[in-house]
Amino acid sequence: MATKLRQIIRAPLTCLHLYLAVSFPPVGPTSQRDDGDTSDIRWFPRCALNTLLGMLLRMSTLLLKTLREEPADAEVPSHRLLLRAGYIRRAAPGGYTWLPLGKLVLDRVTAVVREEMTAIGGQEVSFPALLPREPYELSNRWTEYGDDIFRLRDRRGGEYLLAPTHEEMFTLLVQDMTSSYRDFPRLLFQVQTKYRDEARPRAGLLRGREFLMKDAYSFTLTDLELVTVYATVRASYQRIFDRLGLDHTIVAAVSGAMGGSASEEFLAASEVGEDTFVGCTTCSYAANTEAVITPAPVVVSAAAAPLAVHDTPATPTIAALVDLANERSLDGRTDWTAADTLKNVVVTVQQPGGEEELLVIGVPGDREVDLKRLDAALAPATATLFDDFASRPDLVKGYIGPQGLKARYLADPRVAPGTAWLTGANEAGKHATNVVAGRDFTPDGTIEAAEVRAGDPCPSCGEGTLTIRRGIEIAHVFQLGRKYTDAFKVDVLGVDGKPVRPTMGSYGIGVSRAVAAIAEQHHDERGLLWPDEVAPADVHVVAAGKDGQVEAALELARQLVAAGLRVLVDDRPQLSAGVKFTDAELIGVARSVVVGRRLAEGLVEFRDRRTGERSELPITDVLRVITGALG
C-alpha cells in the first residue's frame, strides 16, 4: 500500500546541491489506480550538474490538468499555453502559482543561470525579500522608486518594503564583510523573488508584480577591473541565453531607476515584447529606442536670411501650417514640409521629490515626442504633457517658438546651431521663418525625445539605416559605479594603506520572465515545444492502449530513468490515445515514445515533434535512440 515513506534518494557528491526528495502518496481515492507499486514516484529535480539522476513523472498522479479551451483572460501565447498546458495558475493580480511541470522548467532555467554564474566565480547568497526602510532611505531609492515599491508597516508601525531589487543589501554586505583590497574583486548573486507594484501587470509571467530574478553585483576597486568583470558577465549571459534557446540581441540601453552607465539590455525578439529596439542595416549597432543617440546634422549654410514673422491664421497644427506656408509661398518657397518646422511641446517635469518644472521640448515638426524616450532622458524625473495654457499666457498653444521663451528649453540634436526653422512666433496666428538656432535662440541643451523611425541614419556607422523590432527584456547589465558605495560610504584599505572606494556592476536576469520568453519563442499551433535544456522532461512516454501498454510504458520509463533520463510517462487509465497525443503536444516535450498497438511485436514509435519525424523501432532500442538524440 502506498502509505509508506518513499525511499530517500541522495544526490551524488558531484552535485553542488544535495537534494533529498521524498514523495508521498496522492491524497484522495487511490484504489483505482494504485497498482501496488508506487515506489517509483520519485520526485526530485535533477541536481545542478545533472545527468546521473533520473526522474519519473507519472501523469496518473501528477497535479496536472490541461485545458481544452483557451482561458478568456490570457492574450499572449506564453500566457495562454502555460495556463492551458498546466504549468502555472493565476493566484493573485500579477502573481502566479508554479504547478509541478512549471516548477520543473523554472528550476531548470535557474539551474542554468546558477551553473554559469558559478563558473565565472560568482558566489550565491540570499537576502530577505522583506526589508526595512532605512537602507533604501539612505540610497534615496525609497523616494526615487516611487509608487512601484510595495511598502508595508509592521505591528509597531515600523516601515518595510518588499524589495524590488537588492543593490543596497549587497552593498551593505560587502561593507560588513570586507576591509582590504585583498577581498576584491567580488561577484555575488542571488536568485530571489522580487516585488514591484506594477500599475498594470499583464501578459502572465511577462510582467507580474511578483517575479523571480537573478541579480548579481560585482565589486571591484578600479574602473578598469569593472570593465573586465562586466565583459565576463556579459559573455556568461550570452552562454546562458544560448543554452536556454533564447534568440536574443544585446542592445545599448539606459539604466533607469538604478543609476549608472555603460548599460546594455538582452532582448529576446518577440512581437509581444514591450521594448522597442533598433538595429543597423550595415553595422552591428543595436539599441533600445530609449537609448538611441541622434547624430547631429552637419550644418552647411552659415549665411541665413533674417528672421521674418508671418501672419498664419488658424494654423495650430503642423499640417495646417505647412499647407498654408506652401499656399502663400512663404519666403518664396513652395516646398515646405513638416521637417522644416520646429515643433515645441510643453511638458511638466516632476522630480522624485515632488518639485515640478515647466519644460519646452523642440523637435522637428515631422516627428512626435516619444514619451518613453523623454522620460528616459529625464530620469529619474518624469514628464507629463502640459495642458494648463490658461495659467501661462506667454505660451501660446500652437504658436510657440523658442525665441524669447520664458521657460527652460531643450532641443532635439537635429536643431543644431546654424539650422533655420519655421516655427511659432509666440503670438496667436503668427509664425516665423528663418529662426536660426544659435542666432535667434539658444537652447538650454539638447534632449533625446523625438521618436525614432525605421530608416533613420545609424548613429554608429553613419552609413546604414535603422530597422525597428520588438523584444522582451530578459536581462540588463550595467556598470553601476559608486552610487551605492558612496551612499553607504564603503571604503576598504588599498595597497598603499589608504582607503579605496569600490565600484559596482549590476547584472540582472528575469528568471520567471525568461520562462515566458522561451515559451514565446518555442511554441507552435499545437502547444509548447521546449528546448532540451529546459524541458520538464527528456522524453515523454505515451501508453496508447490497454493491452498491457501501460505496464510496458512504465517498465520502459523505469529503464530510461535508471539510465539517468527524466521521463514523463502518460500512464493515465481510461484515456483515449488521441487525448494523450494532444496533451503531449501541448505540454511540449520534444521527444516522445508511443507504446501502442505494435507492442505485441516489440515495436514502439519514436516521435520528434520538432522535425515531425516518426519511426518505429524495437522497444529495446529506445534508450540508445533517445540518448543519441539528446547528444
Q: How far is the CB of 272 from RNA (least distance, A)?
A: 8
Using the minimum distance from each CB to RNA, give the nearer residue, 167 or 456. 167
Question: What is the secondary structure of 142-202 as a DSSP string?
Answer: HHHTGGGSEEEE-TT--EEEE-S--HHHHHHHHHHH--BGGG--EEEEEEEEEE---SS-B
In contact, 404 and 412? CB cutoff 8 Å? no
- SS3 for 370-407 is CHHHHHHHHCCCEEEECCCHHHCCCCCCCCCCCCCCCC
- Burial grade of 65 (CB within 10 A; 0-12, 13-18, 19 or more): exposed
The number of residues making up the chain comes to 631
Whole-number Å distance between alpha carbons of 87 and 52: 25
In contact, 221 and 482? CB cutoff 8 Å? no
Judged by CB under 7 A, the stretch of 59-67, 170-178, 232-240, 326-334 that binds RNA is 59-67
Q: How far is the CB of 576 from RNA (least distance, A)?
A: 4
Window 608-627: residues binding RNA (CB under 7 A) = 614
Of 581, 282, 227, 249, the residue nearest 460 (C-alpha): 282
- Assess 384 for contact with RNA (CB under 7 A): yes
- Assess 382 for contact with RNA (CB under 7 A): yes
Among 585, 590, 619, 626, binds RNA (CB under 7 A): 585
Q: How far is the CB of 383 from RNA (least distance, A)?
A: 6
Whole-number Å distance between alpha carbons of 77 and 54: 30
- Burial grade of 151 (CB within 10 A; 0-12, 13-18, 19 or more): middle
Judged by CB under 7 A, the stretch of 154-162, 411-419, 481-489, 581-589 that binds RNA is 581-589
- Assess 598 for contact with RNA (CB under 7 A): yes
Judged by CB under 7 A, the stretch of 329-337, 397-405, 590-598, 621-629 that binds RNA is 590-598
- SS3 for 273-326 is CCEEEEEECCCCCEEEHHHCCCCCCCCCCCCCCCCEEEECCCCCCHHHHHHHHH
- Assess 76 for contact with RNA (CB under 7 A): yes
Among 578, 613, 628, 631, binds RNA (CB under 7 A): 578
Q: How far is the CB of 375 from RNA (least distance, A)?
A: 4
Q: Where are the beta strands (DSSP E) in 351-491?
A: 356-364, 382-385, 408-411, 420-427, 430-436, 445-446, 466-481
Contacts of 409 (CB under 8 A, 6+ apart): 344, 359, 360, 361, 362, 402, 441, 443, 444
Window 355-374: residues binding RNA (CB under 7 A) = 371-372, 374
Identify the residue whose cell numbers are 528616459. Answer: 376
Q: How far is the CB of 140 from RNA (least distance, A)?
A: 14
Q: How many CB atoms lie within 10 A of CB 332?
A: 5
Binding mask 13-42 for RNA (x = CB under 7 A): -------------------x----------
Among 594, 619, 622, 626, binds RNA (CB under 7 A): 594
Using the minimum distance from each CB to RNA, give the nearer residue, 474 or 557. 474
The site for RNA, by CB under 7 A, has a size of: 69
In contact, 212 and 102? CB cutoff 8 Å? no
Among 138, 173, 563, 577, binds RNA (CB under 7 A): 577
- Assess 582 for contact with RNA (CB under 7 A): yes
Among 3, 391, 576, 611, binds RNA (CB under 7 A): 576
Q: How far is the CB of 230 from RNA (least distance, A)?
A: 14
Using the minimum distance from each CB to RNA, give the nearer residue, 99 or 213. 213
Q: Would residue 128 be called left, alpha or beta, if left means φ above 0 and alpha means ψ between -120 and 50 degrees? A: beta
Window 86-105: residues binding RNA (CB under 7 A) = 90, 93-94
Using the minimum distance from each CB to RNA, give the nearer residue, 491 or 551. 551
Tell me whether the omega of the peptide bond preceding residue 364 falls within 30 degrees of 0, making it cis.
no
Identify the residue whose cell numbers are 490570457. Answer: 74
Angle CA 81–86–92, to nearest 5 = 90
Angle of the 77-84 helix axis to the 511-521 helix axis, nearest 10: 100
Q: How far is the CB of 17 from RNA (least distance, A)?
A: 23
Q: How far is the CB of 399 from RNA (least distance, A)?
A: 25
Identify the residue whose cell numbers are 530578459. Answer: 474
Identify the residue whose cell numbers are 483557451. Answer: 70
Among 1, 27, 63, 199, binds RNA (CB under 7 A): 199
Judged by CB under 7 A, the stretch of 65-73, 113-121, 456-464, 533-541 that binds RNA is 65-73
- Assess 597 for contact with RNA (CB under 7 A): yes
Using the minimum distance from each CB to RNA, give the nearer residue, 234 or 310. 234
Among 178, 413, 581, 623, binds RNA (CB under 7 A): 581
- Strand 499-500 versus strand 286-288 pairing type: unpaired
Q: How many CB atoms lie within 10 A of CB 368?
A: 13
Binding mask 531-570 for RNA (x = CB under 7 A): -------------xxx------------------------
Judged by CB under 7 A, the stretch of 317-325, 490-498, 533-541, 574-582 that binds RNA is 574-582
- Assess 134 for contact with RNA (CB under 7 A): no
Among 77, 510, 531, 588, binds RNA (CB under 7 A): 510
In contact, 266 and 473? CB cutoff 8 Å? yes
Using the minimum distance from each CB to RNA, give the nearer residue, 111 or 203. 203
Q: How many CB atoms lie within 10 A of CB 1?
A: 9
- Assess 418 for contact with RNA (CB under 7 A): no
Contact positions toward RNA, by CB under 7 A?
A: 32, 65-73, 75-76, 84, 90, 93-94, 147-148, 165, 196, 198-203, 207, 213, 256-258, 274, 371-372, 374-375, 379, 382-384, 473-476, 508-510, 513, 526, 544-546, 574, 576-579, 581-583, 585-586, 594, 596-598, 605, 607, 614
